[in-house]
Amino acid sequence: MTDTDLQNELINSSLEYATQMNTLELRFSKLDDENPGTDYFPEYKEKYLGIFNKYCTNKKRSYGGQGDSYGEPAEYDGIEDSIEQKTELKTKSRAEVYFKTKNAFDAEYLFVLLKKSGEWKIDSSKYKWYKQEKWDTLHL
């Protein structure tokens, strides 16, 4: 596999994860709006964990990785229509994938992926809004 192929694979994997999470979050947010008082969290959490476990590392997380909240806008709002995507291979087993959006927040997202047992998985994610200097942690 060439470096370009690997970079494209990492971008696609990160984008698939974020898109699936956005779709899930928006679906349950809509259900909540349509049926106030109904507890959708058990179903949401089950579907969330299915996506999460497929794409993310299995490290112990103090925050995140639980599927405890959803709403609008979705966590990775605008990523599906990103205006810039790039990958930087930091080492043979660590990469960063960057997305720049033109959503209402001018959001930028950064995913850190690690290669474990021959498979690349998302280990952490960060965001910046309104062209901030500092990255804030998104709790996977």
For residue range 34-50, what is the model confidence (pLDDT) as tens digits? 999 999 999 999 999 99
How far apart are the C-alpha atoms of 43 and 5, rounded to whole Å?
A: 36
Amino acid (1-letter code) at residue 74: A
Q: For the chain, give every domain's residue range.
A: 3-138
pLDDT digits (tens, 9 = 90+) for 48-82: 999 999 999 998 876 667 788 899 999 999 999 99
- In CATH, the number for domain 3-138 is 3.10.450
Q: Which phi and psi angles does 81 have, rounded to 5°? A: -115, 35
Q: Is the peptide bond before 73 cis (omega within 30 degrees of 0)?
A: yes
How are strands ordered across the β-sheet holding 119-128? Answer: 84-91, 94-100, 108-116, 119-128, 136-138
Q: Is 29 exposed, middle or buried (0-12, 13-18, 19+ CB in 10 A)?
A: middle
Interatomic CA distance for residues 45 and 66, integer angstroms: 7
Tens digit of pLDDT for each residue in 7-24?
999 999 999 999 999 999
Contact (Cβ atoms closer than 8 angstroms) between residue 57 and residue 122: yes
